[in-house]
Amino acid sequence: MSSDYRQRGETLVKVFKELDEKLAEEMYKAMRKDVLKRNALHFIADSPEQEVFSEEQLTLADAIAERLVYDGEYDWTISEWNNILNHLDEITTADMEPDVILT
């Protein structure tokens, strides 16, 4: 089965090479975003077995992937997992409102 996926991947690479360079780049980014979004869901999930995600979880994972792929915030000096975790921390803490307002 693994060789079948590899063969399909190699076929897609050939197709990519025939595309306009800009279109190929956008297709790559869209696929990369999808992979990062799925990986981000592993951190956002309530449990490792979770397969169905809330709208909030999906939105958060999408925002992380969007930042990493389209906003140029991917740090190539650290792992993909650390990039996801860093943005998860940034997004969730930046968007949190305090439970108690001190006056």
Q: Examine residue 1 and state whether it is found in any structural domain, yes or no.
A: no
Output the pTM of the full model. 0.75
Q: Examine residue 45 and state whether it is found in any structural domain, yes or no.
A: yes
CB 67 within 8 Å of CB 87? yes
Per-residue pLDDT tens over the stretch 72-95: 999 999 999 999 999 988 887 655
Q: Examine residue 70 and state whether it is found in any structural domain, yes or no.
A: yes
CB-based burial label for 2 (10 Å; 0-12, 13-18, 19+): exposed
Q: Examine residue 7 and state whether it is found in any structural domain, yes or no.
A: no
Per-residue pLDDT tens over the stretch 51-63: 899 988 999 999 9
Buried b (16+ CB within 10 A) or exposed e, 44-76: beeeeeeeeeeeebeebbbbbbebbbeeeebee
Number of independent structural domains in the chain: 1
Q: Examine residue 42 and state whether it is found in any structural domain, yes or no.
A: yes
Q: Examine residue 25 and state whether it is found in any structural domain, yes or no.
A: yes
Instruction: Quote the domain boundaries for residue 38.
Output: 20-94
CA dihedral 21, 24, 30, 34 (to 10 degrees): -140
DSSP state of 97: P
Residue 63, CA atoms < 13 Å, CB-side half-sphere: 17
Q: Examine residue 10 and state whether it is found in any structural domain, yes or no.
A: no
